[in-house]
């Protein structure tokens, strides 16, 4: 799952749903990115996102930043 909402892992209800449904989520770390900036970050990191999603078990929330990918387990 890809989102701009990086706070979902802090909301008890949303966190419970992430765990219940065993989601693998990647969230942009900054909500102020333009569409072009998000597309660029996706293009640069698509291979890393795929490797993370295949390597780490669900549930997790990964942050997409300008410097790479940071993984946060729940």
| Domain locations in the chain as residue ranges | 2-73
Q: Hey, how many other C-beta atoms are within 10 angstroms of the C-beta on 45? A: 19
Residue 41 and residue 43: Cα distance in Å, rounded? 5
Tens-digit pLDDT profile for residues 5-34 = 877 777 899 999 999 999 999 999 877 889
pTM of the complete model = 0.84
Identify the DSSP state of 57: P
Q: For residue 38, what pLDDT is reported?
A: 93
């Amino acid at each position: 799952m890809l989102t701009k909402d990086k706070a979902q892992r802090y909301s008890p209800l949303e966190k419970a749903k992430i765990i219940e449904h065993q989601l693998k989520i990647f969230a942009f770390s900054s909500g102020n990115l333009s569409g072009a900036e998000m597309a660029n970050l996706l293009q640069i990191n698509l291979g890393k996102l795929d490797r993370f999603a295949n390597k780490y078990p669900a549930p997790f929330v990964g942050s997409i930043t300008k410097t790479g990918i940071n993984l946060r387990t729940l």
